[in-house]
């Protein structure tokens, strides 16, 4: 059992240490097991303060977040829109957040092609701030967009972003069997040469 204690898993999920790369970035990962401990109001404020200072095209700040806390109507509406696979683990998360991005610029109504790009940036800030506070996030694309738009009354001018589960990392033993192995598998990423180019598909030389 020792390899599946929360501490052992946290250590396993830590990206390889790279001198000079921020701990907060290397330690962030997306668990599926959460404890039932609530997230404090103070911590929630810090997370959205972090999101707030993200960069955006023309400083439009197109992101909006709808936050559901376990037991409230918004939580239930977000949860009900998740695909079954995500419901099976996300039910342990004390907070579910839906992000959306405004598709046009407030000042002139022109289309903002970076609405989701910038919403993703704000969500990355939020995730890193969560890590710094000892919290974890797990963002999902697996939910019914139209159902969530309807139940949460999202206007047509907003593009649906992601649902993010938020809470404290819990015990793998609470997860359905197929997910236990996923929760303890090493993290994987493409090597730099596959996504940093000098010319298209020519690895940049460092």
Size of the site for its own copies (CB under 8 A): 75
Q: Distance (Å, rounded) from C-alpha 51 to C-alpha 42? A: 15
Please identify, using beta-carbon distances, which residue of 1 and 41 lies nearer to its own copies: 41
**From 2-10, 19-27, 78-86, 166-174, span contacting its own copies (CB under 8 A):** 19-27
Contact pattern from residue 114 through residue 153 relative to its own copies, giving x for each residue in contact according to CB under 8 A and a dash for the rest: x-xxxxxxxxxx-xxx--xx---x-xxx----------xx
Pick the piece of the chain touching its own copies (CB under 8 A) from 1-9, 18-26, 85-93, 171-179.
18-26
**Rg (Cα) of the chain, in Å, rounded?**
18
Instruction: Return d(Cα 74, Cα 143) in angstroms, integer.
Output: 15
**Which H or E element spans position 99?**
strand 95-102
Among 1, 20, 107, 108, binds its own copies (CB under 8 A): 20
Stretch binding its own copies (CB under 8 A), from 1-9, 15-23, 84-92, 168-176:
15-23
Rounded to the nearest 5°, which phi and psi values hold at 98? Answer: -105, 130
Cβ neighbours, 10 Å, residue 94 = 19
**Stretch of 2-10, 41-49, 85-93, 172-180 contacting its own copies, by CB under 8 A:** 41-49
* Residue from the set 1, 2, 7, 18 that interacts with its own copies by CB under 8 A: 18
Kindly identify the residues of this chain, within the stretch 44-103, that bind its own copies according to CB under 8 A.
44-46, 48-50, 52-55, 57-59, 61, 63-67, 72-74
Closer of 92 and 129 to its own copies (Cβ): 129
Query: Closer CB to its own copies, residue 181 or residue 196?
Result: 196
Collapse the DSSP code of 9 into the 3-class scheme (helix H, G, I; strand E, B; otherwise coil) and give the result: helix
Q: What is the DSSP letter of 57?
A: G
Considering only the C-alpha atoms of the chain, give the largest distance between any 2 of them, rounded to a whole number of Å: 58
Return the residue of 5, 11, 24, 36 that touches its own copies, per CB under 8 A. 24
Name which of residues 167 to 196 contact its own copies (CB under 8 A).
187-190, 192, 195-196
- Report how far residue 46's alpha carbon sits from residue 154's, in angstroms, rounded to the nearest whole number: 25
Among candidate residues 56, 51, 58, 133, the one with its CA nearest the CA of residue 99: 51
Cβ 185 to its own copies, closest distance in Å?
11
CA distance 106 to 98: 21
Contact criterion met (CB below 8 Å) for 50 and 121:
no
């Amino acid at each position: 059992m020792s390899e599946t204690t929360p501490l052992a898993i946290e250590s396993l999920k830590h990206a390889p240490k790279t001198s000079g790369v921020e701990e907060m970035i290397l330690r962030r990962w997306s668990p599926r097991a959460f404890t039932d401990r609530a997230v404090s109001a103070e911590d929630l404020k810090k997370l959205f303060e972090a999101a707030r200072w993200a960069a955006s095209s023309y400083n439009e700040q197109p992101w909006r977040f709808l936050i559901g806390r376990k037991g409230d109507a918004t939580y239930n509406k977000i949860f009900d829109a998740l695909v079954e696979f995500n419901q099976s683990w996300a039910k342990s998360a004390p907070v579910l957040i839906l992000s959306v991005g405004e598709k046009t610029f407030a000042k002139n109504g022109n289309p903002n092609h970076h609405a989701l790009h910038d919403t993703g940036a704000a969500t990355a800030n939020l995730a890193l701030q969560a890590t710094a506070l000892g919290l974890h996030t797990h963002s999902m694309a697996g939910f019914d967009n139209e159902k969530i738009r309807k139940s949460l009354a999202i206007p047509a001018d907003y593009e649906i972003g992601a649902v993010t589960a938020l809470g404290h990392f819990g015990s793998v033993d609470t997860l359905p069997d197929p997910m236990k192995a996923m929760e303890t598998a090493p993290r994987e990423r493409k090597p730099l040469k596959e996504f940093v180019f000098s010319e298209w598909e020519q690895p940049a030389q460092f």
